[in-house]
Amino acid sequence: MAEQEASGLQVLLHTLQSSSDKESILTILKVLGDLLSVGTDRRIHYMISKGGSEALLQTLVDTARTAPPDYDILLPLFRLLAKVGLRDKKIGRKALELEALDVTLILARKNLSHGQNLLHCLWALRVFASSVSMGAMLGINGAMELLFKVITPYTRKRTQAIRAATEVLAALLKSKSNGRRAVNRGYVTSLLGLHQDWHSHDTANAYVQIRRGLLLCLRHIAALRSGREAFLAAQGMEILFSTTQNCLDDKSMEPVISVMLQILRQCYPKSPLPLVTASSAYAFPVPGLITTEPPHDLPEEDFEDDGDDEVDKDSDTEDGKVEDDDLETDVNKLSSKPGLDRPEEELMQYEAMCLELSYSFEELQSKLGDDLNSEKAQYANHHHIPAAASSKQHCYSKDQSSCGQEREYAVQTSLLCRVKTGRSTVHLGSKKNPGVNLYQNVQSNSFRRDSSESEIPDVQASLKADAWDVDAIFCPRMSASFSNSTRTREAVKVIDKLLQTHLKHVPFHDPYLYMAKARRTSSVVDFKMMAFPDVWGHCPPPTTQPMLERKCGVQRIRIFEDIRRLIQPSDVINKVVFSLDEPWPLQDDASNCLQFFSKFESGNLRKAIQVREFEYDLLVNADVNSTQHQQWFYFKVSGMQAATPYHFNIINCEKPNSQFNYGMQPTLYSVKEALLGKPTWLRTGHEICYYKNHYRQSTAVAGGASGKCYYTLTFAVTFPHNEDVCYLAYHYPYTYTALMTHLDILEKSVNLKEVYFRQDVLCQTLGGNPCPLVTITAMPESNSDEHLEQFRHRPYQVITARVHPGESNASWVMKGTLEFLVSGDPVARLLRENFIFKIIPMLNPDGVINGNHRCSLSGEDLNRQWLSPSAHLQPTIYHAKGLLYHLSSVGRSPVVFCDFHGHSQKKNVFLYGCSIKETLWQAACTVGTSTILEEVNYRTLPKILDKLAPAFTMNSCSFLVEKSRASTARVVVWREMGVSRSYTMESSYCGCNQGPYQGLQFGTRELEEMGAMFCLGLLILELKSASCSHQLLAQAATLLSAEEEALDQHLQRCSSSSGSVPSELEDEPACMEEIDYSTDSSSDQEGSLSELDRRIQECAFNKVEGEEEEEAPGQGGEAIP
């Protein structure tokens, strides 16, 4: 049957080319038209494969060369040719070879006064010009001059032909040679004039597509440097800016406004960032490394540009499928296990970090007691430190503030009742008003005190008094160099008074201990101050905050404000008010501007420039010893007015997109609110968007490569109080000192008879800070050999976090893990009795301390150093890997290895794992995967978490091994230590788009809950394993019965994964107004081919424009040579 259809089609096509009978040709064209007008495009592609395009083109040439050309044949032939040509990517080349390109151009010239014939010729030219190289050929043959004869100033006649001509011209101008030709012939000025004329006369917006076509022509010309120069010289910025101001709110003008925005951004003169150097403001002399002179940004002429001399190329290919070259397809690399990267005798040093394997119980108890009485003895005089005997301050006490009660519920109440069954303890915020500020109405009720606050003095008055300079007095680090000064002694008195009168208990936090620990924290720059939120502490807000609903138009408003600065600079202040690069004071307390500060632990703000009274450009610092990784920010701001929106523009972000475009907000901490009993980091900000700006890195700084683009994060903040001191951060900060304080308090909170909690120092960092290693398990029941044997043979679980300093969410997840493991929860007790947890809660202390986003002090991403780490340059990675090597060498490889991370471009929480087969399948590798043996147990834990944790989703998990990830912890531990369950757990900075938390942003409570849920997942994983002991199963069964069988469905050892997992969706839909400023973007759908197809079909059934002029006598009557 198929052969008959093929032979029938081939007969039709052969007859079409060979017949000279008009009726036969028209009949065949009608049959082909009817055949291709129904069904899918498969029919058209089938016809193309049988030589259909060539047959139509040959018929066109033959008909055009008859005297006179028969337009009764040519018009339906053009329509059919355009329909087929839209699907034939080689149509332009075929038209050139069969001389149909020249024939069509000649027919168009002969029909300039006959709109219907001209329209059909233009449709064909539009299809031919879809190939850039064919467009260049048409340009050489004078097509652009012809089109400018068709594109006239505003008229209501022949508008279909004018629209088609603008679309053809836009297609031709994709060619760089045509673009240069257009610039040389002054077409930029002509196009701007035509645009102004049509814009001013088309008041009813009836011809928006013509105006858009003219703008697309300008956009392609502006892809060239010479085109941008001509555009600027013709006052193009001013013209387009002024024409948009009265139509921004008109939705019918959307096609025009979007292209105008792209042109304006494209032609905005590129410039370097307003920094003295692209390198970090902080430098650390790494021993053994030669430091070079920091690169300086150069003048604008140095910027890599568009390559005007580039040869025209076709961007389209027949096969749109691009193989993922990053997937590792070398089976040997995937499956081989390399040898040790160090001498075996070096592993002996890690025995001291695994004392639980060798010491007797008495020795363990003695050693534990010695550790507890060493460093902590220095702080014994501080009654503020929670201790096991303290009922007032202990974090498990029942007589606590509301925050303490919430924490007690989170720890004391079994985790089993908080799984993904709709019974989460999270208080949901209202989704009806996602932009609500939890600080709103603070001023009206801030002094309503309950009985517990009756003795608190007037905070408002106190903060205004010189003696209560919270900004300057509260947070000195009291380093040895000035600890004896009079000012410091006075500061301590003020601190004591503040703590005694205003402090609200924050579980597992103590300000005195924090300040003592901060003295020992070593930073590249000797920070003299501590940030108030870090000292005072943070309690989660009472409600979970919804994602911010993005208002349409917010991005273009900010872009137009950028353009206004360029063309109307009269109101721009442009005053530097803070800079790490300039040592002299830049701020006057009496001046009418905000005061900024960032020289404290984890702080990051390099420069602040006042643009207008309530608007500031901010630049964040690159990572130490680096020129990149600008994302994390954390800074103090003061001197604000309440109820006044302040706009902040962080102008040197690096990532091409961000969750700030999809509902995420930065975080804010108010000192006044904290003193009023609300010590809370809150999501804040409105009018938030993230977009590409006009700043570029020079080619010199980029090492000769094309200078990278920068992006702007802009947001507005309305502060809750006048003259407050507030802190703004990318995400909830969690400092190294906070971790060290937390670990000490945790150690003091545990029952030493039940919980084995040990702190070791894994190593010293480059910056001289100890990297903590924590061991948590249960103490043996007794000194008996049986119990000691069980104690020493518990399997290991290894968890790490915070290798990337800017991923503070990983620390909050880790905080939840640590607190849960030492808690009295029955699940935690079972975990301790059956596992030994080795935890490195912060792999990059130096990066965290110094406000880095991704790197260590050596300027390296430590999670790309696991293959062959250096003890000298990457000590934390070297010794973490050494510890894992040691465990493996004594036959104690961990059941699970997991590295906690944060993710900036996805929502939810998910795992990355490793699988040989899945990687090879995804890469369509020809190697027979049937010969590779691989257990699928690596999928069990994520499936469990998908059922348990409200924030977790299996849909975002991936088990592919990429070449670019070969040196990460996940891949190295999987490959070199043979840990099949080796994971990276990613937590979104933003929130969830599925499950109970759908539409909500993560708070610290949800992140800590995820840490606890991860632990519960480890227990369920063990219960589902074939090696699970009968004793543990019995204990779990008892626990389930006591908890109303809340997890019964998860403990079916043969249960499958959830059966109703939705199909995997794209992480994010396209932002409603996301703009790509590159010239090769296909997102603009310029002269959309599907739209052209629709217009051609309509023309086949309807009469074309009725107002066209009649054909002149003898017009078109001559044959084409």
State the catalytic residues: 986
Beta bridge partners of 579: 607
Distance CA 635, CA 653 (A): 16
Distance CA 41, CA 89 (A): 14
Q: 183: exposed, middle or buried (C-beta count within 10 Å: 0-12, 13-18, 19+)?
A: buried
Phi, psi of 896 (to 5 degrees): -135, 135
With b meaning 16 or more CB within 10 Å and e meaning fewer, what string describes 1047-1074?
beebbeeeeeeeeeeeeeeebbeeeebe
The encoded tokens of residue 612 equal 């207008």
Phi, psi of 619 (to 5 degrees): -125, 130
The encoded tokens of residue 82 equal 């355009």
Q: Are 669 and 475 in contact (CB under 8 A)?
A: no
Map tokens 């690159």 to a residue: 622
Listed in sequence order, the DSSP H helices in 173-319 are 176-184, 187-201, 208-221, 225-233, 236-244, 254-267
Does residue 1030 come out as left (phi exceeding 0), alpha (psi in the -120 to 50 range) or beta? alpha
Whole-number Cα distances in Å, 206 to 212, 214, 617, 878: 12, 15, 40, 68
Map tokens 């200078």 to a residue: 707
Distance CA 190, CA 198 (A): 12
Dihedral, CA of residue 857, residue 862, residue 867 and residue 872, to nearest 10: 20
Distance CA 732, CA 439 (A): 17
Coil vs helix vs strand at 471? helix
Distance CA 850, CA 604 (A): 8
Listing DSSP states for 1099-1112 in one string gives HHHS---TTPPPPP
Which of 1110, 694, 631, 1111 has its CA nearest to residue 905? 631
Phi, psi of 19 (to 5 degrees): -80, 145
Does residue 457 have a cis peptide bond before it, meaning omega lies within 30 degrees of 0?
no
Q: Which amino acid makes up residue 302?
A: D
The encoded tokens of residue 926 equal 């020809």
Distance CA 122, CA 143 (A): 10
Q: Which amino acid makes up residue 375?
A: E
Element at 886 (helix H, strand E): helix 875-889
The encoded tokens of residue 272 equal 């370097």
List, in sequence order, every beta strand (DSSP E) within 785-907.
796-801, 836-840, 896-903
Q: Are 932 and 1018 in contact (CB under 8 A)?
A: no
Q: What is the DSSP letter of 446?
A: T
The encoded tokens of residue 670 equal 């108010």
Give the pairing of strands 645-653 and 615-619: parallel
CA angle 965, 966, 969 (to 5 degrees): 80
Listing DSSP states for 1030-1052 in one string gives HHHHHHHHHHHHHTTTTTGGGG-
Coil vs helix vs strand at 756? strand
Coil vs helix vs strand at 761? strand
The encoded tokens of residue 992 equal 């969830």
Does residue 450 come out as left (phi exceeding 0), alpha (psi in the -120 to 50 range) or beta? beta
